[in-house]
Amino acid sequence: MKQQSFQLRSFIKDYKLERETDVVCFMADIHFTAANTDLDFMGKVYIVTLSFNGRDVVYLISADLERLQIDSMFANSYLFSYSLNKKFSIDGHSERYGDYHLVIDPQCDCEAPNPSEFGPISSN
């Protein structure tokens, strides 16, 4: 299913991340910034569009996310933005960090997508 978010569609097309499956998967450098926090780590990124409601979901898979208590699932309710020179970014808010900004910089394809990595999909 084609992504609903214009920013996601453009990002996927420009970085040639399109796949025959409904799941886009790639390894990326991820940069996280908040008021007093500036972190860089590598992670696996999944982009899934849920067919039952058309919601785009971005999943980040990295041991660093869990250790640092950073969100790992982002849906249309977050602010997605994209430009070739600024990469794909997500703005959000958490209790621990307050307002934050994530920048995703694709590095390479991941092996065959394994959606079981991000657990059950909820319809929230």
Among candidates 104, 22, 28, 19, which has minimal Cα distance to 55?
A: 22
Please give the residue range of the domain that contains residue 76.
6-110
**Residue 77's pLDDT is what?**
64
Could you tell me if residue 53 is inside a domain?
A: yes
Could you tell me if residue 116 is inside a domain?
A: no
Split into its structural domains, the chain has a count of 1
Per-residue tokens: 54: 């058309």
In sequence order, which residues have a C-beta less than 8 Å from that of residue 9 and are 6 or more positions away?
2, 3
**Residue 85's pLDDT is what?**
77
Residue 45 backbone dihedrals phi, psi, to 5 degrees: -120, 130
What is the C-alpha separation between 95 and 81, in angstroms, rounded?
22
Contact 100, 71 (CB under 8 A): no
Among candidates 123, 118, 6, which has minimal Cα distance to 59?
A: 118
Could you tell me if residue 118 is inside a domain?
A: no
Could you tell me if residue 1 is inside a domain?
A: no
Domain of residue 74, CATH code = 2.30.29
pTM: 0.80
**Residue 112's pLDDT is what?**
58
Could you tell me if residue 49 is inside a domain?
A: yes
What is the C-alpha separation between 107 and 70, in angstroms, rounded?
21
Could you tell me if residue 122 is inside a domain?
A: no
DSSP 62-109: -HHHHHHT---EEETTSEEEEETTTEEEEEEEETTTEEEEEEEEEEEE
Could you tell me if residue 93 is inside a domain?
A: yes
Residuewise pLDDT in 10s, the chain (124 residues): 566 677 888 888 888 888 777 788 899 999 999 998 899 999 999 988 776 666 788 999 988 888 888 888 988 767 889 987 778 999 988 888 999 999 999 998 776 556 566 554 444 3
Could you tell me if residue 115 is inside a domain?
A: no
